[in-house]
Amino acid sequence: MSDATSTGPMLAADGTPLKRSLNRALRAQKLRALMLIAPLLVFILVTFIAPITDMLFRSVENQIVSDTLPRTTRALEGWDHNSGELPSEDVFAALTYDLVAAAERKDHTRLGTRLNYETTGMSSIFRKTGRRIDDFGETYMDQFAEATPDLAAPETWVTVMADPGWRADYAAWEAARAAARETGRDFDRPPPLFRLKNGVADILPEAADVYAEFARIAQVENGDNPAEEEPWAPVYLALYRDLMHVGPGAIERLDDASRATLAPAHDAVAGFQSERLADLYLDADKGWGEPAIWSTIQAFSSNYTPGYFLASVDLRQTADGVAMQDEDRRIYIMLFERTLFMSLAIMGACILLGYPIAFLLANLPLRTSNVLLILVLLPFWTSLLVRTSSWKVLLQQQGVINDVLVWIGLVDNANRLVMINNQFGTIVAMTHILLPFMILPLYSVMKTIPPTYVRAAKSLGASNWTAFWRVYFPQSVPGIGAGCILVFILAIGYYITPELVGGTTGTFISNRIAYHISSSLNWGLAAALGSILLAVVLLLYWIYDRIVGIDNVSLG
């Protein structure tokens, strides 16, 4: 043995230091384990975790307001909701441009529904106004048509507003389409999207903005050529407002063709009969006169909102901060409480019924207990719907239990018991469904309790009860804990059974989530309620993992 080897690191067979060699082996082992796990992990992340995360995002998403009313939300920034006054004409004009586009795209009713979650009446206001919005500005349209007949022609607007490059592109596209039609070829190239002329937006900011929106909607939504479509009345409103603001110098900066049309129009607008937009709105729906409507739009103009979460706990967001929900709309706290209460009741019933059974099974000879265990496992393996439907058969007023009670004379035929479509029905059916989840963990814990302890206690003079209560019971507590958390986790998120036997008083928060997804279409609120429920379940899951360990779950 040389000095070098005795002081140097220990070497493996191939001459590398043993420590490094072991490390490498360990890394390889870790890598191999991860490679085996990776496919499933990716699978679960994509098919399960991603959908849930995606849904959680819905609970705070609120782009619909700023997407549908971009101009209005910007214009409202300067408005003070505490002033008690209505916003300025500029805000009304911005709302007109937004609404006419939204109504054309058919987005305004959806926005109304969204805002109605926050303030009652919004939906009907948006619907009523949406029906009239394309008349707003008609006065100006008529007056322009009289003063400068050119402006009544769609082609003029394209001359004034459109980028010559776009017009050339569009013409080329039309030619290509015509050629394709002639030869019978398929033609599915989309037309080039409308582009504004350079500089026109500086001189006529509102008119250019609204006209561009109009042209693009005409192209995209209806497949029309903007040069053949008469602009909306609000486009004329925008032109009127622009021309009232700009001086003749600005018109001079326009190109010749535009100037020819707009110079006389500019001279004429001063003499136009004007009309207050606010009056038009109040005429469509007097709700617009209430500052609360405007402050709701203002309060919900950001892209993300805590509004749905607030609504899930019976609060609401107002321009002045958080407030209680109107009394007649407060139900969610009550529903969460009911869900908790019923889950606890089911858990309690499961302990009461499960403990004796687990005790019996744990203390019978193996052969007998295995046979009896099948009686516990059979319901566990039977379709949930089968069990729910049989409870329906049993609990109805004309059902088996009532029939039996009437037959033995305990209950009068006219006063049959109401045991279904209420909390009782849900608790009974769910106790039955979840009972195996209590018995199995209890049983596996009780099997490990050595019978000698109880015998020792008795031989030392303890009564049966004392021996059970002071010696046996404390050792079975871990089983109770595991069973309780399992039953509670499963109960709190139940949907099918309460839906079928719960009526209106025996339903859970899950049923409300389903209602918001498929009936009321308030997906944000459904997501927020779901997030809260999920948080509760994950907390319990974490506790369960601490106490029992998730890999120790036994499935019979």
The span of 115-123, 151-159, 229-237, 260-268 binding other proteins (CB under 8 A) equals 115-123
SS (H, E, C) 298-351: HHCCCCECCHHHHHHCCEEEECCEEEECCHHHCCHHHHHHHHHHHHHHHHHHHH
Report the residue number, 77 or 188, with the smaller CB distance to other proteins.
Answer: 188
The span of 22-30, 77-85, 87-95, 223-231 binding other proteins (CB under 8 A) equals 22-30
Determine the size of the site formed for other proteins (CB under 8 A).
Answer: 124
Q: Does 399 help bind other proteins (rule: CB under 8 A)?
A: yes
Point out which residues pair with 317 in neighbouring strands: 322
Q: Does 520 help bind other proteins (rule: CB under 8 A)?
A: yes
Q: Does 539 help bind other proteins (rule: CB under 8 A)?
A: no
Q: Does 178 help bind other proteins (rule: CB under 8 A)?
A: no
Q: Report the chain's C-alpha Rg in angstroms.
A: 37
Give the distance, in angstroms, between the CA of residue 123 and the centroid of all CA atoms in the same chain: 19
Report the residue number, 445 or 454, with the smaller CB distance to other proteins.
Answer: 454
Report the residue number, 262 or 362, with the smaller CB distance to other proteins.
Answer: 362
Among 204, 284, 513, 528, binds other proteins (CB under 8 A): 513
Q: Does 225 help bind other proteins (rule: CB under 8 A)?
A: no
- Closest C-alpha among 263, 300, 260, 266 to residue 68: 300
Smallest separation (angstroms) from other proteins to the CB of 293: 14
The span of 76-84, 235-243, 268-276, 513-521 binding other proteins (CB under 8 A) equals 513-521
Point out which residues pair with 196 in neighbouring strands: 162
Q: Does 123 help bind other proteins (rule: CB under 8 A)?
A: yes
CA distance 332 to 516: 12
User: What mask of x and - would describe binding to other proteins in positions 24 to 63, judged by CB under 8 A?
Assistant: --x--xx-xxxxxx-xxx-xxx-xxxxxxxxx--x-----
Mapped onto helix, strand or coil, the DSSP state of residue 200 is: helix
Q: Does 374 help bind other proteins (rule: CB under 8 A)?
A: yes
Site for other proteins in 483-502 (CB under 8 A): 489, 492-496, 500
Smallest separation (angstroms) from other proteins to the CB of 455: 9
Give the distance, in angstroms, between the CA of residue 465 and the centroid of all CA atoms in the same chain: 53
Q: How far, in Å, are 88, 109, 121, 291 from residue 277 at the CA level?
A: 10, 21, 21, 16
Report the residue number, 197 or 516, with the smaller CB distance to other proteins.
Answer: 516
Q: Does 554 help bind other proteins (rule: CB under 8 A)?
A: yes
Q: Does 341 help bind other proteins (rule: CB under 8 A)?
A: no
Report the residue number, 53 or 274, with the smaller CB distance to other proteins.
Answer: 53
Report the residue number, 173 or 468, with the smaller CB distance to other proteins.
Answer: 468
Report the residue number, 243 or 449, with the smaller CB distance to other proteins.
Answer: 449
CA distance 454 to 464: 9
Tabulate helix, strand, coil % of the chain (nearest 5): 75, 5, 25
Produce one character per residue of 167-187: b if its CB has 16 or more CB atoms within 10 Å, e if not.
beebeeeeeeeeeeeeeeeee
Q: Does 112 help bind other proteins (rule: CB under 8 A)?
A: yes
Residue 221, φ and ψ in degrees, nearest 5: -80, -40
Site for other proteins in 438-467 (CB under 8 A): 451, 454, 464
CA distance 203 to 211: 14
Q: Does 152 help bind other proteins (rule: CB under 8 A)?
A: no
